[in-house]
Structure 1
């Protein structure tokens, strides 16, 4: 909670900030073996500019430390990397009217972490804010199997597929699902820094990320719940 005092989230729409998160993705993925060399030194893909796409940079004391991309997917907007990678899991559920946040392109600058192990918490908080705003069926997170213990412990994530080829990366990826509803309520109670006010939620998600009128910087609001306790 104290570290959130130094954090701001930026909904990235273009310019130098966009190039910065693409470079961070590339550096992180190259180091971890998720991608090979790319001449531009930037990692971007065909899902980045979709109207249901939200690209975020996480800044600590003004320095970019991590990035995450979210897609809000529904029957009306069934477009995201996980929909393309796992149609056997998601196509029928979307047709029934279920809705999801698809979290992909998570990347960090470990050398800039303010403390060991905190960047996943600061970054994945974005998914919890999205879940609170949209009222979802679940948050989807395609990840390496070796990272699954973290997601199961913190978010009670459920594995839906075995590891398989995932668009744009080299490592096998499995689809995990974080149920919302009662599970989200319990997660927010266990980890109050994942909480957010309606104002923060609207600033992040009331308009598509490609809308350049969306505010650039968004300050975490979990502290207001702490101060009111």
Structure 2
């Protein structure tokens, strides 16, 4: 469906890729997971994805959930395409007042000085996909990481931190102009190393949105996804198409 979807090259190819993704977003819905739902399908998707590559041990409940899912600064989401759960992502909003997240637990020596200087950041992680749908939609990483892009717009943060597997670093460099900040370390029960990458949100925002306008969103979508009443939420439709029109009108006007 998406030829070379992971590596748009050149302005015309990038524009075609972006338009294709915006069209695909018409089939996409985002659903926030309630912390009270211990057996939410998102936690089962995590388990299946990690077990598929033998990254975690077998457990009888067949869910992957940890102490970071319980934190008040945690936001967890499922991404649905055509009504099917395709992928999931969670993130933490890390501030001097709420200095807890997976990245903080692995690289405290690197990140605590930022908090001490009053900086805040988004820490996205637990990005997992349905195997069949990841083959059908090679651009699924973009659709999923759109959640992190929206979070960087919604919350007053300076950075977006990402714990990245070594084989995925090229993607984060290319798409988000992310740079390494910490050395490779192991996180929790995952049987592979991660490297800490950071993106400076105010610096990269306009370039990323210009090249990948499907990351755009309206304030109403962000408020619906990141508001204070997740148990009242249903699946939310993306607003990238409308947000792109507004950005173009502002530039012309």
TM-score (norm 1): 0.92
Distance (Å, rounded) in 1 between the aligned partners of 2:161 and 2:237: 24
Change (3 A) 1:42 1:213: closer
Q: In terms of mean alpha carbon deviation, does 148-157 or 115-124 score higher? A: 115-124
Report the structure number with the largest CA radius of gyration: 2
Unaligned runs of 5+ in 1: none
Name the residue aligned to 1:215.
233
Change (3 A) 1:7 1:205: same
Name the residue aligned to 1:42.
63
Q: Is the 8 A contact 2:123 2:160 kept in 1?
A: yes
Change (3 A) 1:177 1:33: farther
Change (3 A) 1:114 1:227: farther
Change (3 A) 1:89 1:15: closer
Q: Is the 8 A contact 1:12 1:216 kept in 2?
A: no
Q: 1:174 aligns with which of 185, 188, 195?
A: 195
Change (3 A) 1:146 1:161: same
Runs of 4+ in 1 over 2 A off after TM superposition: 14-19, 113-116, 211-214, 225-229
Aligned residues: 226
Distance (Å, rounded) in 2 between the aligned partners of 1:18 and 1:10: 15
Q: Higher helix proportion, which one?
A: 2
Distance (Å, rounded) in 2 between the aligned partners of 1:19 and 1:213: 12
1:66 counterpart = 2:87? yes
Distance (Å, rounded) in 1 between the aligned partners of 2:170 and 2:245: 32
Q: In terms of mean alpha carbon deviation, does 153-162 or 118-127 score higher? A: 153-162
Give the superposed CA RMSD: 1.8
TM-score (norm 2): 0.84
